[in-house]
Chain A
Amino acid sequence: DVVMTQSPLSLPVTLGQPASISCRSSQILVYSDGNIYLNWFQQRPGQSPRRLIYKVSNRDSGVPDRFSGSGSGTDFTLKISRVEAEDVGLYYCMQGTHWPFTFGPGTKVDIK
């Protein structure tokens, strides 16, 4: 299976400051259709996951533009330009290229 690693696993941030989460895959994530199926999800406490970013850098409808995704090859990044209180939660990267599709362990974002 493709192993997804994330760092850091815990990220205390100051309101209004930027935050960055790294995700690394154990294999290249380019699928035969040319797409890179690397997605990012937010899971607020007590809620189901919500997709923020799909195929590396495409922001979902309704997701604030302070969230952005980037990366290539095996290294990907989720950035929050200015953290707000509502951003507290777990963030997961996930690869949808190699079956079984797999998630990273999650990064817990909270406020300092």
Chain B
Amino acid sequence: QVQLQESGPGLVKPSETLSLTCTVSGASIKSSYWTWIRQPPGEGLEYVGYIYHTGITNYNPSLKGRATISLDTSKSQFSLKLSSVTAADTAVYYCSGEPRLLDIWGQGTMVTVAS
């Protein structure tokens, strides 16, 4: 059974970089695409971006080049960095699987941007 687990700081200061990691268990991280999605409090769901095991990435243009997703196959992890954060980046961040299908989800991690 494939499981995803997000981890990272729950509080980030404005203008700094948000960094999150998703650990994959029960499947090879080399077998698929991996996705980040976020959900601001009380709001809907928004794609951040995804990465293929070859390293190919795709990001939501709404993030204006601030997002970077990377892969660490030795640790079976993929990561998200979001630079120059503002209060608008406050959200629950979820890691997920294949971006067209989102068959599996992590439990999510809340990140608050505040000084």
Contacts and interface: CB of A to CB of B under 8 A. Distances in A.
Interface of A: 31, 37, 39, 41, 48-51, 54-55, 60, 92, 94, 96-97, 99-106
Contacts of A105: 44
Contacts of A102: 47
Given A92-B44, A101-B47, A39 B102 contact: yes
Nearest to A47: B107
State the main secondary structure of chain B at its contact with A: loop
Interface stretch (B13-21, B58-66, B75-83): B58-66
Given A92-B44, A100-B60, A101-B47, A48 B102 contact: no
Nearest to A99: B58
B10 interface: no
A37 B100 contact: yes
Contacts, number: 48
A51 B44 contact: no
Interface residues of B, number: 18
8 contacts: A49-B102, A50-B105, A51-B103, A51-B105, A96-B102, A101-B47, A103-B44, A103-B46
Contacts of A51: 101-103, 105
Contacts of A101: 47, 99-100
A100 B61 contact: yes
B29 to A, nearest CB: 19
A41 B106 CA distance: 14
B101 A39 contact: yes
A56 B60 CA distance: 24
